[in-house]
Homo-oligomer: A and B are copies of this chain.
Amino acid sequence: MKTSTIIIEDNVEYCNEIIEKLRLIENVQVLGCFHSLEDALAFLDRGQTADFFLVDIGLPGMDGISGIGEILMRNPETKIAMLTIFDDKELVFNALKNGACGYLLKGESEGRFQKAIEEIVSGGGFFTPSIAQMVLKFFRKKPFSKHKITKREKEILQLMSDGLAKKQISDRLFISYSTVDSHVKNIYKKLHVNCGVQAVMKANEEGLI
């Protein structure tokens, strides 16, 4: 059974290019293409659907990123891949957050393109190396933390992130409130923040906890 596919891309020329590429991939059957997200959503609202959507990110009207959410709201099982010339960090992560299964750069070689599509329709995820690189960087703890937090401080930061008050932390660690307070003060200084929320957020971002 082939994977029914819809393309959403406003540039007609490029659209045809993609269709040609997709024709070469077995297991994929192109149902058609729309030139705006609104059209595609109307299609879904008519009760019709597809297994796989290939969506351009820079569409007139509703943009691709918002579109992902809309499509998934109507059909949560759909697989969606973004198609774009940009590899902007924010865009990529926003797309992923909204539920995209993959992110393809338009310049991708034919082989890579095919490979990626195959992975996605078969239920896997796919990142081109540059996207994978971004994801790696995202996860990677920052260079052994300019902010050299001590073991105890890290421990306390962790409990803070669980929502414990200083008093509760002191009880948990069998130390006095004053000690916790001191540690917290030091943490704030090291992270250059001045409240718990910021501290926990920053620690989180920097992979300290």
Contact = CB atoms under 8 A, between A and B. Distances in A.
Interface of A: 73, 76, 93, 96-101, 119, 122-127, 129-130, 132-133, 135-136, 139-141, 143-144, 160-163, 165, 193-198, 200-201, 204, 207
Given A97-B139, A197-B197, A204 B204 contact: yes
Contact of A129 (B97, B125, B132, B135): B125
A97 B197 contact: no
Find the residue from A125, A129, A162, A200 having the highest chain B CB count within 10 A: A125
A136 B101 CA distance: 7
A125 B119 contact: no
Nearest to A128: B124
Given A126-B129, A127-B125, A201 B161 contact: yes
Contact of A194 (B101, B161, B162, B163): B163
Given A96-B140, A140-B96, A141-B99, A201 B163 contact: yes
A124 B130 contact: yes
Contact of A98 (B73, B100, B141, B198): B141
B127 A119 contact: no
